[in-house]
Amino acid sequence: MSEKKKGLFARLFHGLGKTRDNMTEKVDTLVRETRKIDDDFYDELEDILILSDCGMKATMSMMDELREQVKAQKVTDAAVARDMLKEIMVKEMDIPRPPLKWPMVMLIVGVNGVGKTTTIGKLALRFQQIGRKVMLAAGDTFRAAAAEQLTVWAQRARVPIVKHEEGADPAAVVYDAIQSAKANEADLLLVDTAGRLHNKKNLMDELNKMRRVIDRDFPEADVRCILVLDATTGQNGLAQAKAFKEVCEVGGIILTKLDGTAKGGIALAIRQELDVPVWYIGVGEGIDDLQPFDAREFINALFGEGSENA
C-alpha cells in the first residue's frame, strides 16, 4: 500500500472510530459470547445494526442473506458468520460511481447546515489537483453570506467564481456561469443551490429552471445532481434524501461529518433505501478528508481491519 493510500485509509479508519465503537465492537462482543448461531444471535445482531442507523430495510436484507448463507454452508462458528456479514455489507454498498465525462456541471443540493459550501470548496480543490479547470457558481442567492462563504473557498482553491447580488435569480447566475465556463473552457462547473427544503415547490421550480438553462445553453455538458447529507443527522438525513429525490434526479451522494457520528451505518441505509451511489465521504475537516467512496475500504475500516496501516 502506497504512503498516500495509507494516509487516506488512516483518516477513514479514525473518522469511523465512533461508529466502530458503537457497531463493530458490539458485533465482536456478540461473536465472542455466542455459543451457537440461533434466533437469539440473529435478533441481537439485528438490533446492533438498526441502532447503528443501518435502517430497517438494509438490516432486513442483510440478515435474510446472512441466514441463507449460514444455513446453506452449515456454519456453526459465529466468527465465520461475522465475516459473511462483512462481505454482504461490501456487496450491498458496492455501486460503482458512473464514469465522469467532461465538460460537467454538478448541481450541489442539500439543506442548509450539512456542509454544502465546504464540500464544494473541497471538490474544487480535488478536481483542480488532478488537472481539471474548475469554476464555481454561487446559485444560493437567498441565504445571507452564502456567496461570500463560497468566495472564500474559490480563493482558497484559486478557481474563478460567478456570483450576483443577494436575492438575485439563481438561474441568471447559472446562465452567466455557463457563458464564463464555455469562454474559459472549464471542465467542471460546481453550482451551489439553496437548501430551503421546507418549501419544496419553490425549490423544485428553482432547480428545474436552473436545469432548463443548462440544457439549453450548455447541451454538451454532463449534468449531475449531487446531494450532500450530514451523517450525524442519521435517519433524518435519509428523510431529507428522499425529499430531494422528489424534486430532482439525484445521481450521487456526498456523506459529510462521518467522523462526528456513532451511526455511520446510515451509509448502508442510504444505499438500500435510495439506490443511489455514495460518491464521496467526509471524515474530517481537512481538504484530504473528503475521499472518494470505496465500499471495501469503508467496511474494512468499519470492522477495524487494515488498522495496522492506520
pLDDT at 2: 63
15 close to 283: Cβ distance less than 8 angstroms = yes
Q: Where are the domains of the chain?
A: 1-310
Instruction: Give the model confidence (pLDDT) of 8-44 as tens digits.
Output: 788 889 989 999 999 999 999 999 999 899 999 999 9
What distance lies between CA 150 and its chain's CA centroid?
20
Assigned C-alpha cell, 117: 459550501
Whether the pLDDT of residue 212 is over 60: the answer is yes
Average pLDDT for 216-233: 95
pLDDT recorded at residue 74: 96
The residue ranges of DSSP E strands in 129-221, in sequence order, are 134-138, 161-162, 188-192
Q: Are strands 278-282 and 290-292 parallel, antiparallel or unpaired?
A: antiparallel
Contact call for residues 9 and 297 (beta carbons, < 8 A): yes
Q: What is the mean pLDDT of residues 94-98?
A: 85
Query: Above 80 in pLDDT, residue 77?
Result: yes
Q: Which of 163-167, 184-188, 268-272, 301-305 has the highest mean pLDDT?
A: 184-188
192-206, pLDDT tens digit by residue?
998 876 777 888 899
Given a cut of 90, whether residue 104 has pLDDT beyond it is yes
Give the pLDDT of residue 5: 67
pLDDT digits (tens, 9 = 90+) for 110-166: 988 898 999 999 999 999 989 999 999 999 998 888 999 999 999 988 999 999 998
CATH 2.60.120.640 fits 1-310, yes or no: no
Across the range 259-263, mean pLDDT stands at 87
Lowest mean pLDDT among 136-140, 171-175, 300-304: 300-304
Helix, strand, coil percent values for the chain (each to nearest 5): 55, 15, 30
Tell me the residue length of the chain: 310
Say which amino acid occupies 132.
R
